[in-house]
Structure 1
Amino acid sequence: MENQQNLQEQLNQFQQLQQQAQAIAMQKQTVDIQMNETKKALDELSKTDDDREIYKTAGPLLIKTTKSESESDLKDSVEMLELRKKTIEKQEKRITSKLEELQTNLQSAMQQMQ
């Protein structure tokens, strides 16, 4: 009976880790999309003249800014997103490792019950 209860707890933990892994994968995808959009904006900005009027969004407002200020802001955003992605990848590795370990434990526990 105790083995079944322990097995059930491990199954519940496994399911929770799977959900966390899915959430992390979605976060990583979101960061990738944001990074691609930011890099595209930087690329487009590099094609514009230095004296061209540039506007950025701030909530519902459009605010006039300079090309150099926009480039700086976008580069900062890319750096921040790269850091966020590295953090997410570390979490992803940690959870994947736990999932693999738990899966091995569950498989051996189920074989012992047979």
Structure 2
Amino acid sequence: MDSVSPQVQNQIAQFQQLQQQLQAVLTQKLQMDAQVREMTRTVEELGKAPQDAVIYKSAGSLMIKADGKESVLKDLEESKETLEIRLKGVERQEKALREKYQAMQDQINKAISTGLPLNNQ
């Protein structure tokens, strides 16, 4: 990297930070997506249960008897909806980071291959 200008070296360091941010967002997205799938399966299974089924729900480290199937279904649907909204926000963040990542990558590659200074963004 000695033949690369300090400006390009700085841009490469920023690019590496952007890579880390993108990786963190992708990890968060995968976790949230798994949670949404799990909630969907739970809602489906609970929907199959008889109306008078005894249902327990988690309250911290305890399992407590729920007030009924409909109450638990309502809570699960609300939690799932909230998580889906958060997931959409993470997906928008991922898209923006990917676009910035691609632009920076193109800019760095051009600067390195041509030896020209970078355009500051």
One fold, TM greater than 0.5? yes
Map of 2:12 onto structure 1: 11
Equivalent residues, number: 113
TM-score after normalising by structure 1: 0.93
CA distance in 1, matches of 2:26, 2:96: 13
CA distance in 1, matches of 2:73, 2:47: 8
How much identity, in percent, do the aligned residues show? 40
The offset of 1:49, in angstroms, is 1.1
The offset of 1:111, in angstroms, is 1.7
The offset of 1:50, in angstroms, is 1.0
Q: Please state whether the residue corresponding to 2:5 is helix, strand or coil.
A: helix
The offset of 1:102, in angstroms, is 0.5
Q: Please state whether the residue corresponding to 1:50 is helix, strand or coil.
A: coil
Map of 2:119 onto structure 1: none
Matches within 5 A, 1:2-41: 4-41=5-42
Structure that is richer in helix per residue = 1
Q: Does 1:84 align with 2:66?
A: no
Q: List gaps (5 residues or longer) in structure 1.
A: none
Q: List gaps (5 residues or longer) in structure 2.
A: 117-121
Moved over 4 A (4+): none
Letter in 2 for 1:95: L
CA distance in 1, matches of 2:81, 2:7: 44
CA distance in 2, matches of 1:68, 1:76: 12
Map of 2:45 onto structure 1: 44
